[in-house]
């Protein structure tokens, strides 16, 4: 544990950011999994709804710096291809 006051604060801030990033990344993964489950079932209407949620989550993650913009584009492209093959 650090002795200097500013270093103590950095530890606390880093822990808070780590928790926030972990929660956001978990929510992103959940949104993607929900879309993939709907796509696997072949339910077109449900897949379209969850697709919009997943793409929005990917865009938010890229804006927050959780994902690189090219990685976000790659994920969205893959989801779009899966959506187009459903039903």
pLDDT tens digits along 17-31 = 999 999 999 999 999
For the chain, the structural domain boundaries read 5-84
Q: Does domain 5-84 have CATH number 1.10.260.30?
A: no
CA distances from 77 to 6, 19, 31 (A): 43, 28, 15
pLDDT of residue 1: 81
- How far apart, in Å, are the Cα atoms of 74 and each of 12, 23, 59, 71? 34, 22, 12, 5
Model pTM? 0.86
Question: Residue 73's pLDDT band (boundaries 50, 70, 90)?
Answer: very high
């Amino acid at each position: 544990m650090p002795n200097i006051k500013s270093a103590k604060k950095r530890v606390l801030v880093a822990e808070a950011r780590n928790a926030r990033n972990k929660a956001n990344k978990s929510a992103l993964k959940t949104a993607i999994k929900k879309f993939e489950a709907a796509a696997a079932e072949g339910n077109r209407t449900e897949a379209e709804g969850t697709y919009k949620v997943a793409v929005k989550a990917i865009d938010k993650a890229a804006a927050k710096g959780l994902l690189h913009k090219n990685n976000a584009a790659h994920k969205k492209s893959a989801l779009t291809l899966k959506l187009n093959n459903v039903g």
